[in-house]
Amino acid sequence: MKKGRTVRLLAAALVGYAIGSFPTADSVSRYATRHNGDDAAVDLRVAGSRNPGALNAAKVLGWKWGAFVLAGDFVKGVLASLAGGAVARGDGSYAAGSGAVIGHCAPVWSGFRGGKGLATSAGTALVCFPAYMPIDVSLAAATLAFSRGRAGTATYVASAVFITAAVYWWLRGRGNVWGPRPTIGLPLYALSTSAIIAYRFLTAPPATTSQVHLAEMKMETVEPATADVP
């Protein structure tokens, strides 16, 4: 019985990884390139901040395409966690949620060069830890504002509180709205997702001046031209 449960949890984690590793940014970049009539797709791992995520996509391709990447990455987290729950119930959602964020940050199909995982993590939290999600979003936004736009600082603070809250919810047995019952899987999910996201922020390559300039030029080409009206 215990062995069968372990197998199901591993299966849930693998399903989550597979869904999370779907290359949302690459797919949107290829479509945006065809839509704009360009010959070659923009590689978001080279252009701009060199991160295949929503913010870099918005800077390089335009805000509309960045919104598509954001929505796609968020939905990946939701679908992965729901699929994990179908495979192994509550703890399966936690396992698949962890797998989805790891898959997004380190997809095997792209040489383990993925995004930073924030949108995908938010999608998993909507399923795995909905009771805390409003607090998480508010805290991240407030920290981002007080840190003057330093996304890394906001992420580290929000992640630390996220893990602490997960441990508290598990130990106190608090309600989780529509999410799974808090077990040891909840703090393990919070710890694993926070760790991979922190690692991605710490190891993210800095954008060079030329790459930032290229991103700005690209935005100018995809945004509608406006003329001065006397």
Q: Would the pLDDT of 81 be above 80?
A: yes
Q: How much helix, strand and coil, in percent to the nearest 5, is found in the chain? A: 70, 0, 30
Domain count, the chain: 1
The answer to the question of residue 187 being in a domain is: yes
Condensed to tens digits (0 to 9), the pLDDT of residues 199-220 reads 999 988 765 544 445 545 544 5
The answer to the question of residue 127 being in a domain is: yes
The label of the residue with tokens 């693998």 reads 14
Nearest one of 86, 88, 164 to 129, comparing CA atoms: 164
The answer to the question of residue 228 being in a domain is: no
- Burial of 169 (C-beta count, 10 Å sphere; 0-12/13-18/19+): buried
Q: Are 145 and 131 in contact (CB under 8 A)?
A: no
pLDDT at 131: 97
Mean pLDDT of 65-75: 96
Condensed to tens digits (0 to 9), the pLDDT of residues 182-196 reads 999 999 999 999 999
pLDDT at 205: 74
The answer to the question of residue 223 being in a domain is: no
Q: Would the pLDDT of 227 be above 70?
A: no
The answer to the question of residue 173 being in a domain is: yes
Mean pLDDT of the chain: 87
Q: How far is CA 98 from CA 48, 102, 122, 213, in A?
A: 28, 6, 12, 35
The label of the residue with tokens 């698949």 reads 96
Q: Would the pLDDT of 149 be above 60?
A: yes
Amino acid (one-letter) located at 156: Y
- The token duo for 171 is 């130990």
The answer to the question of residue 30 being in a domain is: yes
pLDDT at 1: 53
pLDDT band at 141, cuts 50/70/90?
A: confident
The answer to the question of residue 203 being in a domain is: yes
Q: Would the pLDDT of 179 be above 60?
A: yes
- The token duo for 41 is 């797709």
CA pseudo-torsion sign 66, 67, 69, 74 = positive
Residues in Cβ contact with 79 at an 8 Å cutoff, skipping those fewer than 6 apart: 19, 123
The answer to the question of residue 226 being in a domain is: no
Condensed to tens digits (0 to 9), the pLDDT of residues 106-126 reads 999 989 999 999 999 999 999
The label of the residue with tokens 């792209």 reads 110
Query: What is the C-alpha separation between 121 and 10, in angstroms, rounded?
Result: 19
Query: What is the C-alpha separation between 180 and 166, in angstroms, rounded?
Result: 12
- The token duo for 211 is 């790459």
Q: Would the pLDDT of 127 be above 60?
A: yes
Query: What is the C-alpha separation between 98 and 23, in angstroms, rounded?
Result: 17
pLDDT at 3: 83
* % of the chain beyond a pLDDT of 90: 65
Range of the domain at 153: 2-218
pLDDT band at 161, cuts 50/70/90?
A: very high
